[in-house]
Every structure is written in C-alpha cells, then in structure tokens.
C-alpha cells in the first residue's frame, strides 16, 4: 500500500472512532472541525465509509454508524469472551508480581441475593497460597472484588443490592453496616480499587478493581490476594497499582474507552 493509501486508511479509522466516544451522530461540519481535515477530504472519506455500510445517513442528513459496523461489532463481541480476554493478561500479572489473582463476576442467586462468582484463578508460585474452586460463590460485601464492583455502580443500585443480600459476619473485620459500606464505596471509587483486610477470612488480605464493558459499565472484577504473613497493607497498595493497569488493559480489549 502506498503512503497516501495508508494515510487515507488511518484517516478513515480516525473518523469511525469518533462515533460513540462522545456522541453517536455527527454533522459533516462537526467532523471537519474534529479532524482538522479539509471538507473535501472528509466528505470523500465519509462517502467511502457509507458505500461500505460502515456509516449511514440519518433523517437529518447527519452521519451515524451503519449496519456493517454493527455487524462487525457483534461478531467481535461474540469472540471476545471475558475469560478468554482476561486469562493471558492475568497470567502475565502473576508472572510479574507472583501473587494469586482471580476473575469474578456478579451473579444474582435464586433467593434474590447477590454474590461474586469465581470464573478464573491464577495461582502464584508460593508454597503458602490461597485455593479456591472455580464456580465458588463469594459474599459480595466481604470481598475486594464485590466491593470494587459495587462501588462503581450508581448509588441506587448499590442500595438495592445490599437490601437484597444478607450482610453476614465472617470475621471480626467484616463490615456489616450498610452505612459503613456505602461510605467505603465512595472512597473505593475515588482511589480506583478496594481492599479486603481479613473481612472474608482471618489472615487473608486482598485488593480488587472493576472491569468495564464498551458502555463503561462495571461487569466483573479482578483481585490479587495473599496471606498477611507475606502481603501486608503496604504491599497490598502496591499490588493494587499493578492490578489496575492490568484491569484497564482487559477493559480496553472489551471495548472500554474510559480512563
């Protein structure tokens, strides 16, 4: 491909990426302003994309994503399984920091309560580690993954889930007050990650952070954890920074374009 052809491809891709980032419908003049290209070039690119069905005109003669783009997105989502996307990145994370990591997803139980369902666990090389069977349902209020997920929901959804879920005590550190949990969610949202300091099991520290879909909605969470004999609170904050970087990459591959 010539350099001019490659430049046209890059420009066309740049146009497509504008749709859905801030708004789903654009006028020709708005796209000219956004791309800083001349009007003739933008119109030519739009015409080519429209011809291929990647863009289409609205009743107002503006531009929006076309049926071929919707089909491509659907095929990409079908082949973008959460576990498939997450596993290699989580394995790489464990290879760097050598602590166990998990992938968990919120599920509603038959009685209407909520739990975090274990989908994947990558073990560390340490002799003393944590074991967990895939498919285990963990309390959403006493795990770093559950708190990370809840913290990034709208407040009304947080309250609804807590109201539907028995807030049980597991250790002396388990938070059972809804007011305390809601206050903690605000802090978690600000810092980007949750901590569970012996709240599910004595001697177990964990940190968790959410994963987002292409709409920016939290859909799952990942954690890192270890025994307090090796992972103290200072180390946990360090692991949280590594975990957030990996979570951002996973979310990006799921279509998320936030920060």
3-77 is a CATH 1.20.120.80 domain: no
CA-derived radius of gyration, the chain: 22
How far apart CA 196 and CA 178 sit, in angstroms, is 16
Residue range(s) of every CATH 3.30.450.40 domain in the chain = 80-253
Residue range(s) of every CATH 1.10.10.10 domain in the chain = 3-77
Query: What distances in angstroms separate CA 25 from CA 11, 61, 89, one per listed residue?
Result: 18, 10, 34
Q: Which CATH superfamily is domain 80-253 in?
A: GAF domain (3.30.450.40)
Nearest to 56 by CA among 66, 46, 47, 48: 66
Per-residue pLDDT of the chain (259 residues; tens, 9 = 90+): 566 778 888 888 888 888 865 677 899 999 999 889 989 999 999 999 999 888 999 989 999 988 888 777 666 555 558 888 999 999 999 999 999 999 999 988 878 899 998 888 888 776 555 555 556 789 999 999 999 999 999 999 999 999 999 999 999 999 999 999 999 999 999 999 999 999 999 989 999 999 999 888 999 999 999 888 888 899 999 999 999 999 999 999 988 877 6
CA angle (118 as vertex; 117, 120 as ends), nearest 5: 145
């Amino acid at each position: 491909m010539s350099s001019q052809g490659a430049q046209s491809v890059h420009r066309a891709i740049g146009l497509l990426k504008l749709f859905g980032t801030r708004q789903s419908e654009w006028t020709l003049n708005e796209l000219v302003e956004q791309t800083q290209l001349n009007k003739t070039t933008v119109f030519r690119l739009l015409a080519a994309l429209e011809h291929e069905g990647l863009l289409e005109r609205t009743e107002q003669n503006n531009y929006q994503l076309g049926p071929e783009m919707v089909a491509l997105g659907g095929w990409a989502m079908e082949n973008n399984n959460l576990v498939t996307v997450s596993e290699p990145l989580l394995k790489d994370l464990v290879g760097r920091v050598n602590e166990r990591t998990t992938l968990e997803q919120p599920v509603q139980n038959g009685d209407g309560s909520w739990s975090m369902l274990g989908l994947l666990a990558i073990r560390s090389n340490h002799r003393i580690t944590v074991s967990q069977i895939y498919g285990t349902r963990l309390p959403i209020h006493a795990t770093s993954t559950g708190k990370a997920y809840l913290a990034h929901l709208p407040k009304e959804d947080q309250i609804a889930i807590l109201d539907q879920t028995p807030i049980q005590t597991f250790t002396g550190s388990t938070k059972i007050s809804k007011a305390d949990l809601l206050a903690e969610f605000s802090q978690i949202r600000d810092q980007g990650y949750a901590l569970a300091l012996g709240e599910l099991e004595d001697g177990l520290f964990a940190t968790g952070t959410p994963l987002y879909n292409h709409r920016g909605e939290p859909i799952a969470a990942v954690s890192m954890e270890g025994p307090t004999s090796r992972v103290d609170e200072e180390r946990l904050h360090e692991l949280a920074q590594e975990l957030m970087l990996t979570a951002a990459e996973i979310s990006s591959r799921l279509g998320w374009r936030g920060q």
